Amino acid sequence: YRSRKRSSKAERAPATMMNADMDAVEAENQVELEEKTRLINQVLELQHTLEDLSARVDAVKEENLKLKSENQVLGQYIENLMSASSVFQTTDTKSKRK
Protein backbone atom coordinates (compact mmCIF):
# COMPACT_ATOMS: atom_id res chain seq x y z
CA TYR A 1 0.00 0.00 0.00
CA ARG A 2 2.80 2.40 0.85
CA SER A 3 4.57 1.69 -2.37
CA ARG A 4 1.37 2.53 -4.18
CA LYS A 5 1.12 5.86 -2.42
CA ARG A 6 4.70 6.66 -3.22
CA SER A 7 4.35 5.73 -6.83
CA SER A 8 1.13 7.61 -7.16
CA LYS A 9 2.72 10.68 -5.57
CA ALA A 10 5.69 10.24 -7.86
CA GLU A 11 3.34 9.90 -10.80
CA ARG A 12 1.36 12.96 -9.73
CA ALA A 13 4.44 15.20 -9.59
CA PRO A 14 5.23 14.85 -13.29
CA ALA A 15 1.55 15.16 -14.12
CA THR A 16 1.35 18.34 -12.06
CA MET A 17 4.45 19.66 -13.83
CA MET A 18 2.95 18.75 -17.17
CA ASN A 19 -0.27 20.54 -16.27
CA ALA A 20 1.71 23.60 -15.18
CA ASP A 21 3.68 23.49 -18.43
CA MET A 22 0.49 23.08 -20.42
CA ASP A 23 -1.09 25.97 -18.53
CA ALA A 24 1.95 28.12 -19.29
CA VAL A 25 1.81 27.19 -22.97
CA GLU A 26 -1.91 27.83 -23.06
CA ALA A 27 -1.43 31.22 -21.38
CA GLU A 28 1.32 32.06 -23.87
CA ASN A 29 -0.93 31.01 -26.75
CA GLN A 30 -3.70 33.17 -25.35
CA VAL A 31 -1.35 36.17 -25.16
CA GLU A 32 -0.21 35.54 -28.73
CA LEU A 33 -3.81 35.25 -29.90
CA GLU A 34 -4.75 38.50 -28.19
CA GLU A 35 -1.72 40.23 -29.73
CA LYS A 36 -2.60 38.91 -33.19
CA THR A 37 -6.19 40.06 -32.75
CA ARG A 38 -5.00 43.49 -31.64
CA LEU A 39 -2.67 43.76 -34.64
CA ILE A 40 -5.38 42.63 -37.06
CA ASN A 41 -7.77 45.22 -35.66
CA GLN A 42 -5.08 47.88 -35.94
CA VAL A 43 -4.38 46.92 -39.57
CA LEU A 44 -8.09 47.06 -40.38
CA GLU A 45 -8.39 50.47 -38.75
CA LEU A 46 -5.40 51.74 -40.73
CA GLN A 47 -6.91 50.37 -43.95
CA HIS A 48 -10.15 52.24 -43.27
CA THR A 49 -8.19 55.40 -42.51
CA LEU A 50 -6.27 55.01 -45.77
CA GLU A 51 -9.51 54.52 -47.70
CA ASP A 52 -10.97 57.64 -46.09
CA LEU A 53 -7.86 59.67 -46.90
CA SER A 54 -7.83 58.42 -50.50
CA ALA A 55 -11.46 59.40 -50.92
CA ARG A 56 -10.68 62.83 -49.44
CA VAL A 57 -7.73 63.30 -51.82
CA ASP A 58 -9.95 62.39 -54.78
CA ALA A 59 -12.60 64.88 -53.63
CA VAL A 60 -9.99 67.63 -53.22
CA LYS A 61 -8.54 66.91 -56.68
CA GLU A 62 -12.01 67.12 -58.20
CA GLU A 63 -12.75 70.39 -56.37
CA ASN A 64 -9.39 71.77 -57.51
CA LEU A 65 -10.15 70.98 -61.16
CA LYS A 66 -13.56 72.62 -60.85
CA LEU A 67 -12.07 75.75 -59.29
CA LYS A 68 -9.37 75.94 -61.98
CA SER A 69 -12.06 75.79 -64.65
CA GLU A 70 -14.09 78.50 -62.91
CA ASN A 71 -10.97 80.67 -62.62
CA GLN A 72 -10.32 80.31 -66.33
CA VAL A 73 -13.88 81.36 -67.12
CA LEU A 74 -13.65 84.35 -64.74
CA GLY A 75 -10.25 85.30 -66.15
CA GLN A 76 -11.62 85.27 -69.68
CA TYR A 77 -14.67 87.27 -68.57
CA ILE A 78 -12.48 89.92 -66.89
CA GLU A 79 -10.23 90.06 -69.93
CA ASN A 80 -13.25 90.61 -72.18
CA LEU A 81 -14.58 93.36 -69.90
CA MET A 82 -11.21 95.09 -69.86
CA SER A 83 -10.88 94.98 -73.63
CA ALA A 84 -14.41 96.37 -74.06
CA SER A 85 -13.88 99.24 -71.62
CA SER A 86 -12.14 102.45 -72.71
CA VAL A 87 -10.67 102.85 -69.23
CA PHE A 88 -8.38 99.89 -69.79
CA GLN A 89 -7.45 100.70 -73.39
CA THR A 90 -3.82 101.50 -73.99
CA THR A 91 -3.33 105.10 -74.96
CA ASP A 92 -1.07 106.08 -77.77
CA THR A 93 0.29 109.51 -76.83
CA LYS A 94 1.86 110.12 -80.26
CA SER A 95 -1.44 109.82 -82.12
CA LYS A 96 -3.20 112.25 -79.72
CA ARG A 97 -0.55 114.92 -80.21
CA LYS A 98 -0.85 114.87 -83.97
Q: Is 90 helix (H, G, I), strand (E, B) or coil?
A: coil
For the chain, the residue count is 98
Confidence at residue 40, expressed as pLDDT on a 0 to 100 scale: 98
What are the C-alpha distances in Å from 6 to residues 2, 13, 98?
Answer: 6, 11, 135
Radius of gyration of the chain (CA): 42
Contacts of 88 by beta carbon, 8 Å cutoff, 6+ apart: 82
Which segments of the chain have a pLDDT < 50?
Answer: 1-10, 98
Confidence at residue 19, expressed as pLDDT on a 0 to 100 scale: 79
Confidence at residue 88, expressed as pLDDT on a 0 to 100 scale: 73
Confidence at residue 34, expressed as pLDDT on a 0 to 100 scale: 96
Confidence at residue 69, expressed as pLDDT on a 0 to 100 scale: 97
Distance CA 63, CA 43 (A): 30
